[in-house]
Structure 1
């Protein structure tokens, strides 16, 4: 029997509703971790103050490349540090979210007691593998997004890799290769969900930009929580799809 996207969406929403409190708590914990890591790695307040100089203030509406060319070398380094801190913080948050949520789904599927702390604890052995996998996938997707279409295709190709890596205990490269093969064989089941996720994440990134240089931890935390919830929905969808593909 063919796999229907409507059935996948319904299964995804049913699981999300049944485990709503646990997923919310996991999204909150990983969002807090992201904010903490970001604060630890970001430049100090004195360095951030250099970004409030007139060079930045006078550049409203200017595109990124002219803006970077206009500011001083010191300000460029501060921007690089802020960007690197945010990228690493998001990566750590996404790895913990994926590890915890996929473990939670596995526990529920096998009718075992579920708690967020138990899911995170049991996911610890797979986190290093997931970290390498998601680092490589994110790097390739970000490079591909420089010309947009290749990045979207790579995001679709590698979307099943975290599920494959955790389900079969295999390395990152092999997981990405298997994921690409399955993804392009089932392109129309994956593409809409991944494309919608990319659009939402890009929108959230644009919303978060005004808070990058200001001390608005609550707003940043809320945006991270919402981002994690959207990623959770996608992971549930992908997990269900992969389980059905294994049965074919």
Structure 2
């Protein structure tokens, strides 16, 4: 296979630069949708105030704190966590679908807006949503067991969304094909996924310096930055898969 990681980086950078405005708008739009859904589903301030009651003390592990909560506090915590997870899942799926529609349409010479790209991905969104959920679940379980299995799964499954969107295969077929292809191209895929993960961590650390902004505005900005990072990785992986085909 006559390509290198360097050529893929340059190709990714060129595409990102030429479609910067569309990708930024898509990142902001999906970020706004994520924050809006999360805000709508999260318990109100009166319910969240229950979490600060009692002795949820310092020095306890997270598991001990949850065990020491009252049933009402546990229900509020579960609902808040589920709201954040669901909102993030929807936002990530819309971003993935939009990017996986944008790239081939632009490559075919079409002028595409962020809304049109997301709209064009509508037929694949249900399957993509289920795939993103399964990938997130498996990777999180890997990180809970040990960090290394989580990293390995994140790398091996990284091509699954691209395969699902471009081939007539099922969800598990896309995951199996991704594992097989990535295993043979580990040196090309793993550095990109590792940089993506580190950039995500950097965005989380940036959150502590954005306390001057209103909470919702800061959430939209941080989610948009995170989406931009993910969009770059999607471009890279899509270009790689096209070459592997």
Counterpart of 1:139 in structure 2 is 137
Q: Distance in 2 between matches of 1:196 and 1:62?
A: 33
User: Residue by residue, what CA displacement relative to the aligned partner does 1:75-127 show, whole Å, maximum 9, x if unpaired?
Assistant: 23222221111111111001000100110101011112211121111110010
User: Residue by residue, what CA displacement relative to the aligned partner does 1:177-211 show, whole Å, maximum 9, x if unpaired?
Assistant: 10010011101111111122223324444665999
Q: Distance in 2 between matches of 1:35 and 1:7?
A: 36
User: What 5-or-longer segments of structure 2 have no aligned partner?
Assistant: none
Counterpart of 2:24 in structure 1 is 24
Deviates more, 1:201-210 or 1:189-198: 201-210
For the pair 1:73 / 2:71, whether they are aligned, the reply is: yes
Q: How far off its partner does 1:52 sit?
A: 3.2
User: What 5-or-longer segments of structure 1 have no aligned partner?
Assistant: none
Counterpart of 1:225 in structure 2 is 224
Counterpart of 1:51 in structure 2 is 51
Relative distance call for 1:196 and 1:222 in structure 2 (3 A) is same
Q: How far off its partner does 1:44 sit?
A: 1.9
Counterpart of 2:165 in structure 1 is 166
Counterpart of 2:244 in structure 1 is 245
Any idea what SS the aligned residue of 2:112 has? Answer: coil
Q: Distance in 2 between matches of 1:197 and 1:10?
A: 16
Q: Distance in 2 between matches of 1:85 and 1:205?
A: 19
Relative distance call for 1:3 and 1:136 in structure 2 (3 A) is same
Aligned residues: 241
For the pair 1:10 / 2:10, whether they are aligned, the reply is: yes
Q: Distance in 2 between matches of 1:204 and 1:84?
A: 22
Q: Distance in 2 between matches of 1:65 and 1:208?
A: 25
Q: Aligned ranges for residues 28-39 of structure 1 at < 5 Å?
A: 28-39=28-39
User: Residue by residue, what CA displacement relative to the aligned partner does 1:183-241 show, whole Å, maximum 9, x if unpaired?
Assistant: 11101111111122223324444665999xxx711111111001100100100110111
Any idea what SS the aligned residue of 2:221 has? Answer: helix
Relative distance call for 1:42 and 1:115 in structure 2 (3 A) is same
Relative distance call for 1:86 and 1:208 in structure 2 (3 A) is farther
Q: How far off its partner does 1:66 sit?
A: 3.7
Counterpart of 2:181 in structure 1 is 182
Cα RMSD (Å) of the superposition? Answer: 2.1
TM-score by length of 2: 0.91
TM-score by length of 1: 0.90
Any idea what SS the aligned residue of 1:55 has? Answer: coil
Relative distance call for 1:82 and 1:205 in structure 2 (3 A) is farther
Q: How far off its partner does 1:67 sit?
A: 3.2
